[in-house]
Chain A
Amino acid sequence: MTMNIKRLGVSTVLALAISAMTGCYTVEANLPGTLRNDLKPDQTETVGTVKIEKGNWFFLWGLMGNPPPDFFSTELKQQVKAKGGDGVSGLTYESQAGCVDLIIGAVTGGCISPMSFTVSGNIVRVKAAPIPGKSLAQGNASASAERVAQAY
């Protein structure tokens, strides 16, 4: 019995140490491409909007259940490609725990904690040369090059 209590104590301390080292409710999602601040307003043309709404379930007070690195990037690329854009301007990241999320978290004592995430922005065509690097979508980049050529 005493051994079990000791083991429980050691496990708790270890869990706390791990949480202290790594943090809880961690989100680290890749954004595809490059974030440019050198473009002037007349170098972009808005062709639509993008909105990605996703939920994620965290477990054990946020120690487990972190979303994957491509949490937003895959859908972001798909939506931009579908509208013939080159990128996104006015990108906005939002996260929140909604009413249902709070109820689930409260009922489970934080063992299960859902959260909602939204990424939105304007899909744009870029009338400037891309930054040198590996093409994220060869066909898309070629189309962009044609538009750049036409602009010149």
Chain B
Amino acid sequence: MTHRSLLFAATATALIAGNACHHLTTKVPGVLDMRTDGSGAAPATRKAGAGERTGFDGLMLGEGVTGTSELKVVDRKYWVCSFFPIINESATEEIQLAVGTEALRNCRIGQQFTIMNWATQLVVSMLPVVNALGIIMPPNDFNFWGTPVKASADVALPPPDDAVAPTTEAAPAPGN
């Protein structure tokens, strides 16, 4: 083995050991208020189709924000050589669109490798220029779910049961 080969092998090993594959990072906007589950809040209305991606964009970047009563955020991620994220790196803006200026309850976070990811990889691998060396690895979907509710207490519906956290109405006025 030549000196150059050894250097290449050492560099590759260091790169693999120092980094991780399919590294997915998503910053969730807003504050996760863990005092109540929000089940007594009024549902928030949301404009249908806002933030949704369709057609080629939806196929390549994920469907974006879909649903009305329960929202689902789908953001498709890609990496070069499995190490470097490219295209559509963050799902923060999609979650921001979903939550708006109100709140989401029953939130779930996660990811999935779907049949669409597999199909996308298959198509991309057939493009001679885009993926000449097969360096773009299978994409992966980041997912976020939530039910939109009003954040302001003055429009709240009656709570579903007696286990309800106190609101500001219960707080004593200053000087009392």
Contact = CB atoms under 8 A, between A and B. Distances in A.
A25 B113 contact: yes
B28 A91 contact: yes
Interface in B145-176: 145-146, 149, 151-153, 156-157, 159-161, 163-168, 170-174
Contacts of B110: 26-29
A38 B163 CA distance: 24
B62 to A, nearest CB: 13
A47 interface: no
Interface stretch (B1-9, B35-43, B49-57, B123-131): B35-43
B65 interface: no
Contacts, number: 249
Nearest to A33: B34
Nearest to A86: B35
A87 B22 CA distance: 29
Given A94-B24, A130-B167, A29 B35 contact: no
Contacts of B47: none
B24 A133 contact: no
Nearest to B13: A99
B36 A33 contact: yes
Contacts of A23: 112-115
A94 B77 CA distance: 13
A116 B20 contact: yes
Interface string A74-87: 00110010000111
A5 interface: no
Contacts of A91: 27-28, 32
A34 interface: yes
B33 A87 contact: yes
A38 B35 CA distance: 15
B124 to A, nearest CB: 18
Contact of A131 (B41, B96, B145, B161): B41
**A-B CB proximity, top 4 nearest:** A132-B40, A27-B110, A33-B34, A96-B20
29 contacts: A24-B113, A27-B112, A31-B32, A33-B35, A34-B105, A35-B107, A36-B103, A86-B35, A87-B33, A87-B34, A92-B27, A94-B25, A94-B26, A95-B24, A95-B111, A102-B21, A124-B31, A128-B168, A131-B40, A132-B159, A133-B38, A133-B105, A133-B164, A134-B164, A135-B165, A137-B35, A144-B35, A145-B165, A152-B168
Interface of B: 16-17, 20-41, 96, 99-115, 140, 143, 145-146, 149, 151-153, 156-157, 159-161, 163-168, 170-174
Interface of A: 19-20, 23-39, 44, 62, 69, 72, 76-77, 80, 85-99, 101-102, 116, 121, 124, 126, 128-138, 140-142, 144-145, 148-149, 152
